[in-house]
Amino acid sequence: MFVRKAFVKDAPDIYNLVNLYARDGLLLPRSMSSIYEDIRDFWVCEEEGKLVGCAALHVVWEDLAEIKSLAVAPHMKGKGIGGLLVRACVEEAKQLGIRRVFVLTYAVGFFEKHGFKTIPKDKLPHKVWGECINCIKFPSCDETAMWIELDTCVEELGVVDLRHEV
């Protein structure tokens, strides 16, 4: 498996993977246009030349970023791909000088395993909720807000340089 920053050519595969989970209400749907616009936010995981996972790190403010659109191909679940993508996003956030990375998720146990802590949603700035207006669940969001504080987690995560094959 290989984790790398996304290329423009990855947009259709990212679109298909994210929207596979969006159909079940597990992720927010993404338009092809939004994926192209945000392609620099995305990390992807490849196996044998096929995209098998993706995640985006979206900078929200000077000290806050969000992991969005984390998706792993159904046949590849349980192989550590989600963890690799989360670590890639966290490493990038550290390199950018971000202090906290948050998620809105149904996969609480998964993110706890990666050092994230549950927080009240009102700890997140109002700016975060701009995209939520387009969600069918707004304003009754049932996702859990979690974050990780990067100045205390470097050793816990065992962050690796993901520019090389993993």
Domain assignment present for residue 163? The answer is: no
Show the domain range for 148: 2-157
Domain assignment present for residue 110? The answer is: yes
Domain assignment present for residue 73? The answer is: yes
Question: The pTM is what?
Answer: 0.85
For residue 80, what is the domain's CATH number? 3.40.630.30
The full DSSP string for 21-46 is HHTTTSS----HHHHHHTGGGEEEEE
pLDDT attached to residue 166: 44
Domain assignment present for residue 93? The answer is: yes
Domain total of the chain: 1
pLDDT digits (tens, 9 = 90+) for 44-77: 999 999 999 999 999 998 899 999 999 999 999 9
